[in-house]
Structure 1
Amino acid sequence: MDSWRIGDHLSATYAADDDCRDLMVGFVRRGVAAGHRVVVLLDTYSFELARALTAAVPDAAIGQFTALRFGAGFGGPGADGTPFGVADLVAGLTALYEQALAAGYDALCVAGEMVWAQRAGFTAADLLAYEAQVNRSVGVGRAAALCAYDRRRFGADLLTRIGVLHPGPLLRFTLGGWGAHLRLSGELDASNAGALPAILSLVAGADSVVLLDASDLAFVDAAGAATIVRFAASRPARPTVVRCAGSVRQVLRLVGADSVPSLVLRDQNSGV
């Protein structure tokens, strides 16, 4: 877990506790070494993992690294017995992010040992909703996320559906700029194309022109290009401007870009 950077939303699976520890240690060490605030969310009974992670970063500044266990630092039913849900988790992550920036850190790195989600009673739909929301959180802010899933505890079909909601490390995206501005970089292929609808949904409701800046997208396959074309077609009253290289523009045209009036293709070096 040495190739990630801020802006990544990563997924990893493991089938042995040692593998989980190694994944987490690599992520935590890299985040601390870069000077970021690092938080790990662990299962209730992950005492040994919490100790191993703390020992792995002895040089972390006070307050820079925190290991939280479900029900003993984060999560758990409310005072009135209300179950801990996706909205509660997202609110908690938002608070951690704001606290990190307020404390002077340039970014927040969060890793989750996702067994805790079963302890919280999350359904498959809850997990998918959570992962889609993390895409928004990572894309909007200065953050990175790693979700580690135990193959012994989560079914293969669910893990496949969860995996495609994680665009990193090949595909990266950021939100910002004027109006609704979504920037894509890296490669869009079969390994991550399933994450694209969730990413595009971040700007789908914009009451303005959407600029999809794919200038730094080195490759797009037909499935990814078709998703972009369908997105533009779903907003017929408002233009979607795609700024991209000639190779990406060619694939978009092959899957029907020219038949969608609201889709405007621009050269990667052009203005809006």
Structure 2
Amino acid sequence: MSEGRTVPSWRLGEHVSATYAATDECRDLLTGFVRTGVRPGQRVVVFLDADDTDLARQLVAAAPDAAAGQLLVLLYGSGFTASGDGRVQQMLDGLTTVRDEAFADGFQTVFVAGKMTWTLRAGFAAADLVAYESAVNAFFGDVRIGGLCLYDRRRFDKATIGAVAAAHAGPLLRFTVGGWGAHLRLSGELDASNTGALPSILGMVTEADSTVLLDASDLLFLDAAAAHAIVGFAASRPNRHTVVRCTRGVRQALDLVGADEVPTLVLRDRVGGT
């Protein structure tokens, strides 16, 4: 990234995608991510391609004050691997291990970044990437974790980049899972840039054998596709209620796509007003 370019800010609870078309641009994006991550004393883990040894050294040098074990830079084939028919699940399991080890080591929060060219070496097809990016939304539903996936526009075609970008919720949309029964909270905006991530997010509570509370009180906007996805989610659970707490504007969008035709979908005003 050349001098004068703005490096985005990174936050916990986000699953963000970004693209680059130059080596220095990639380096600066990752450097900004690493520096942001180590400042509050959280663990930062970066997944790189096998030939990124120089970049690995640059990232370590960018965080000279990192404590021992705080910054982990892993190269494909030596620090981590994923191959064969189960490569998507292998990587998801690997992320779970990274998270659990960080918490076991006393870190309360974790930043995870990936320079996604490693997936080409691992044999990921476009469908594998979309499956991975959709499934990993569950991992980033934990507000103690923040994530960044970097895609090289010289190596991935526009269709693939568009598909994987849509599978990322952040930075416009944030979500958390927890609370009583199955409680999913959405905040921010749902539009064409991230609606593709919504099915995988809703999928985290699809199998709940209880009422699902979808707290959209802080959802500022959703488009028709997102509204259809929420109504369709409720319709797919005919024996369990889905309660959506939302603003008047979100309620109107849901009503326009048939919310009143789903008996198990209950719309409630947001706490503190409509």
- Could you tell me the TM-score, scaled by structure 1's length? 0.93
SS at match of 2:174: strand
Aligned-residue offset at 1:260? 1.1
The residue aligned with 1:172 is 174
Residue by residue, what CA displacement relative to the aligned partner does 1:136-194 show, whole Å, maximum 9, x if unpaired? 01104621110001111111111111010001011000011111111000111222112
Q: Output the CA distance in 1 between the equivalents of 2:201 and 2:248.
A: 23
Q: Which amino acid aligns with 2:40?
A: A
Aligned-residue offset at 1:108? 1.1
The residue aligned with 2:92 is 90
Q: Which amino acid aligns with 1:94?
A: T
Q: Output the CA distance in 1 between the equivalents of 2:24 and 2:142.
A: 33
Q: Output the CA distance in 1 between the equivalents of 2:214 and 2:40.
A: 30
The residue aligned with 1:56 is 62
1:75 aligns with 2:75: no
Asked whether the 8 Å contact 2:82–2:90 carries over to 1, the reply is no
Q: Output the CA distance in 2 between the equivalents of 1:239 and 1:5.
A: 33
The residue aligned with 1:105 is 107
Q: Output the CA distance in 1 between the equivalents of 2:253 and 2:234.
A: 15
Asked whether the 8 Å contact 2:166–2:192 carries over to 1, the reply is no
* Mapping 1:136-147, distance limit 5 Å: 136-140=138-142, 142-147=144-149
What is the aligned counterpart of 1:194 among 185, 193, 196?
Answer: 196
Aligned-residue offset at 1:195? 1.1
The residue aligned with 2:4 is none
Residue by residue, what CA displacement relative to the aligned partner does 1:1-36 show, whole Å, maximum 9, x if unpaired? 443211100001111111111111111110111221
The residue aligned with 1:18 is 24
Aligned-residue offset at 1:222? 2.1
Q: Which amino acid aligns with 2:148?
A: L
Q: Output the CA distance in 1 between the equivalents of 2:10 and 2:172.
A: 10
Q: Output the CA distance in 2 between the equivalents of 1:30 and 1:203.
A: 31
Runs of 4+ in 1 over 6 A off after TM superposition: none
1:38 aligns with 2:40: no
Q: Output the CA distance in 2 between the equivalents of 1:141 and 1:117.
A: 26
Asked whether the 8 Å contact 2:166–2:193 carries over to 1, the reply is yes
Residue by residue, what CA displacement relative to the aligned partner does 1:51-97 show, whole Å, maximum 9, x if unpaired? 111111001011100111001211166xxxx6771222111111110
**What is the aligned-residue RMSD (CA, Å)?**
1.5
Aligned-residue offset at 1:267? 1.1
Q: Output the CA distance in 2 between the equivalents of 1:83 and 1:208.
A: 34
Q: Which amino acid aligns with 2:254?
A: L
Q: Unaligned stretches of 5+ in structure 2?
A: 1-6
The residue aligned with 2:53 is 47
Q: Unaligned stretches of 5+ in structure 1?
A: none
Aligned-residue offset at 1:227? 1.3
Q: Output the CA distance in 1 between the equivalents of 2:186 and 2:211.
A: 17
The residue aligned with 2:157 is 155
Asked whether the 8 Å contact 2:188–2:221 carries over to 1, the reply is yes
Q: Output the CA distance in 2 between the equivalents of 1:22 and 1:242.
A: 40
The residue aligned with 2:15 is 9
The residue aligned with 2:269 is 267
Q: Which amino acid aligns with 1:214?
A: A
What is the aligned counterpart of 2:251 among 246, 249, 252?
Answer: 249
Q: Percent same amino acid at aligned positions?
A: 59
Asked whether the 8 Å contact 2:183–2:212 carries over to 1, the reply is yes
1:134 aligns with 2:127: no
The residue aligned with 1:236 is 238
Q: Which amino acid aligns with 2:54?
A: E
- Could you tell me the TM-score, scaled by structure 2's length? 0.93
Q: Which amino acid aligns with 1:18?
A: D
Q: Output the CA distance in 1 between the equivalents of 2:143 and 2:216.
A: 19
